């Protein structure tokens, strides 16, 4: 049984931080997207002869064909393609190890790259590549050989767009989850948010390991007016190319309300994920079975999410701030403590001849929660000082959370905006996948948020989220296809897939003030 879905929360340092130095520990550690959080899937294999190198892979498509991709290079500079791949031979082996299919491509003049779509190669089946490479060692032809097992292409699926409610003119962190379903090969991609079919934000260069799951956080420019907006989150430019592009995007709506006085919107969800599949691949030569491979996989996991958005359209919030968050459901609870929170970055401008406008941002992690604050202040020599603020307390799904360009610029306090694409670990200080509260239709999710600023002003929000059933299921019955590879060799492939996502979800908005 594979269990690739490891879900949960943002978690960091110990609770009850009291000093400025300790409070700094609550700042999330930003990691460049170029540093993969995990890479356990299949990889291209490299063979060598003399100074010549040949790197390649065979990835199986949804139509059961396979793409052979090869690149030649020199040991002097392995990162740069070099030479000419003059000949390629592919040998596919049966269960006994004896080649059952041999293909040759001769007289090639395409340079350092070779691509060929082939049939007759099944998942997990061993193959051997032999390539003749010229142009590396003078007039010499180098013969390079390597072997590998064929793997499925990565299959990225987007789901879990949250929250479903928000407030006008306040930053809202929109999150989604992407899973790699096939379990063989990891993939890179760009993660894009569209609002009402218009590009709104992007996280570039994300990575999802084979069988893994990650979150992405978008912070699009504030929704200016109340109403319902259409959201679409898509993974684009998937590399290696995606196995099934039909699940590369998901859609949802978000209802934006006005934020008069102190208001909030809160969302919570919990899903149990169960995926099972069965596959067989049988090759026949002259009616006799020469290769058989059967696989059964059962993937299970869970994802739980909660989010509290709050805002006050007329009120000063003075740093430093102390805040607490408690969440309880079904008799169990979680707590977070954010002590001595200061502004991470501040932008100041002369907004009128008599007034200076400033906006400050802060982001902290503690317990299993992440706190975001956006504070606006107007200092007017005639009208006095006024302000507004908004914030969010959030838990996320997946191993890591990738930041979009706008999320990075809003919350990172990095002067090099947008700078390098980054992510944060969702469980930076613990091995387990976090705490799962017992959400159910017989229970509610209760959030209790309290905050006190440097002036002694106290704020609170205490939403109670009703939870109702939510079920998504899909099935592919046992289906077989037959393919004639040569006059003597044929392949029969059969598969069945069952996917279910069963759980509870709910949202609530504060009553008008």
pTM value? 0.78
22 falls in which pLDDT band (50, 70, 90)? very low
What is the per-residue burial (b if ≥16 Cβ within 10 Å, else e) of 210-248?
A: bbbbbbbbbbbeebeeeeebebbbbbeebebebbeeebb
Domain boundary among 107, 131, 152: 152
> Domain check: are 74 and 29 in the same one?
no
CA distance 126 to 91: 9
CA distance 361 to 389: 10
> Domain check: are 61 and 167 in the same one?
no
* 185 part of a folded domain: yes
Q: What is the pLDDT of residue 368?
A: 82
CA dist 385 → 375, 381, 388, 495 (Å): 13, 8, 11, 67
Number of H helices, E strands in the chain: 2, 34
> Domain check: are 302 and 324 in the same one?
yes
Instruction: Please compute the mean of the pLDDT values over residues 207-229 and round it to a whole number.
Output: 89
Which pLDDT tens digit goes with each residue over 72-95? 999 888 888 899 999 999 999 988
Sequence-ordered list of residues with C-beta below 8 angstroms from that of 253, at least 6 positions apart, any chain: 164, 228, 229, 230, 231
DSSP string, 65-93: -EEEEEEEEETTEEEEE-SEEEEEEEEEE
Evaluate whether 222 touches 269 at the Cβ level (below 8 Å).
Answer: no
Evaluate whether 214 touches 399 at the Cβ level (below 8 Å).
Answer: yes
> Domain check: are 77 and 163 in the same one?
no
> Domain check: are 135 and 273 in the same one?
no
* 266 part of a folded domain: yes
User: In the structure encoding, which two tokens stand for residue 97, read together?
Assistant: 């190890």
User: In the structure encoding, which two tokens stand for residue 265, read together?
Assistant: 């919107």
Which pLDDT tens digit goes with each residue over 253-286? 998 877 555 689 999 999 888 888 888 888 888 8
* 5 part of a folded domain: no
> Domain check: are 32 and 60 in the same one?
no
Domain boundary among 118, 152, 186: 152
> Domain check: are 304 and 429 in the same one?
yes
Sequence-ordered list of residues with C-beta below 8 angstroms from that of 21, at least 6 positions apart, any chain: none
Q: What is the pLDDT of residue 328?
A: 94
> Domain check: are 129 and 227 in the same one?
no
> Domain check: are 343 and 457 in the same one?
yes
The helix/strand/coil state of 411 is helix
13 falls in which pLDDT band (50, 70, 90)? very low
Report the number of distinct structural domains present in the chain: 2
CATH number at residue 123: 2.60.40.1940
CA distance 337 to 322: 8
Which pLDDT tens digit goes with each residue over 426-463? 655 443 456 889 999 988 999 999 999 999 988 889 89
* 1 part of a folded domain: no
CA distance 485 to 125: 15
User: In the structure encoding, which two tokens stand for residue 52, read together?
Assistant: 């010549």
Q: What is the pLDDT of residue 36?
A: 93
Domain boundary among 104, 121, 152: 152
* 11 part of a folded domain: no
> Domain check: are 244 and 371 in the same one?
yes
* 317 part of a folded domain: yes
The helix/strand/coil state of 222 is coil
Please name the residue that has the structure tokens 């934020």.
259
CA distance 472 to 150: 32
> Domain check: are 266 and 221 in the same one?
yes
Q: Return the minimum-mean-pLDDT range out of 11-20, 328-337, 429-438, 493-502.
A: 11-20
* 15 part of a folded domain: no
Q: What is the pLDDT of residue 397?
A: 64
> Domain check: are 168 and 127 in the same one?
no
* 328 part of a folded domain: yes
139 lies in which domain range?
Answer: 45-152
20 falls in which pLDDT band (50, 70, 90)? very low
Evaluate whether 153 touches 65 at the Cβ level (below 8 Å).
Answer: no
- Please state, rounded to an integer, the average pLDDT across all residues of the chain: 86
CA distance 222 to 200: 10
């Amino acid at each position: 049984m594979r269990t690739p879905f490891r879900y949960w929360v943002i978690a960091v340092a110990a609770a009850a931080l009291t000093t400025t130095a300790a409070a700094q520990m609550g700042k999330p550690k930003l990691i460049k997207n170029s540093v993969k959080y995990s890479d356990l899937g299949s990889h291209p294999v490299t063979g060598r002869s003399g100074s010549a190198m040949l790197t390649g892979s065979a990835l199986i498509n949804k139509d059961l064909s396979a793409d052979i991709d090869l690149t030649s290079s020199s040991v002097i500079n392995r990162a740069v393609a070099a030479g000419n791949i003059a000949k390629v031979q592919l040998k596919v082996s049966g269960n006994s190890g004896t080649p059952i299919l041999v293909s040759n491509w001769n007289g090639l003049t395409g340079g350092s790259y070779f691509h060929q779509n082939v049939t007759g190669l099944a998942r997990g089946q061993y193959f051997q590549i032999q390539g003749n490479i010229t142009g590396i060692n003078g007039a010499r032809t180098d013969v390079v050989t390597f072997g590998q097992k064929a793997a499925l292409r990565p299959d990225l699926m987007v789901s879990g767009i949250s929250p479903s409610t928000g407030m006008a003119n306040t930053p809202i962190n929109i999150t989604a989850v992407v899973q790699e379903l096939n379990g063989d090969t990891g993939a890179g991609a760009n993660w894009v948010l569209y609002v009402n079919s218009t590009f709104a934000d992007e996280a570039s260069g994300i990575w999802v390991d084979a069988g893994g799951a990650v979150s992405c956080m978008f912070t699009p420019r504030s929704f200016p007016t109340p109403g319902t907006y259409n959201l679409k989150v898509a993974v684009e430019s998937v590399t290696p190319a995606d196995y099934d592009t039909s699940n590369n995007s998901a859609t949802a709506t978000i209802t934006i309300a006005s934020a008069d006085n102190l208001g909030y919107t809160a969302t919570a969800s919990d899903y149990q994920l169960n995926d099972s599949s069965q596959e067989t691949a049988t090759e026949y030569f002259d009616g006799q079975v020469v290769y058989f491979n059967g696989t059964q996989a059962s993937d299970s996991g869970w994802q739980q999410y909660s989010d509290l958005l709050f805002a006050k359209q007329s009120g000063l919030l003075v740093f430093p701030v102390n805040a607490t968050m408690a969440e309880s459901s079904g008799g169990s609870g979680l707590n977070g403590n954010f002590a001595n929170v200061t502004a991470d970055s501040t932008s100041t401008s002369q907004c009128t001849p008599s007034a200076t406008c400033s906006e400050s941002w802060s982001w902290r992690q503690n317990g299993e929660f992440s706190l975001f604050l956006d504070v606006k202040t107007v200092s007017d020599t005639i009208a006095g000082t006024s302000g507004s603020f908004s914030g969010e307390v959030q838990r996320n799904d997946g191993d890591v959370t990738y930041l979009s360009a706008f999320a990075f610029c809003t919350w990172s306090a990095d002067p090099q905006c947008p700078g390098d694409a980054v992510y944060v670990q969702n469980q930076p200080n613990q091995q387990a996948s976090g705490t799962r509260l017992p959400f159910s239709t017989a229970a509610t999710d209760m959030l209790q948020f309290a905050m006190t600023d440097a002036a002694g002003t106290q704020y609170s929000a205490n939403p109670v989220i009703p939870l109702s059933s939510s079920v998504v299921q899909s099935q592919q019955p046992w289906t077989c296809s037959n393919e004639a590879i040569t006059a003597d060799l044929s392949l029969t492939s059969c598969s069945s897939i069952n996917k279910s996502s069963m759980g509870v979800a709910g949202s609530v908005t504060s009553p008008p003030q």
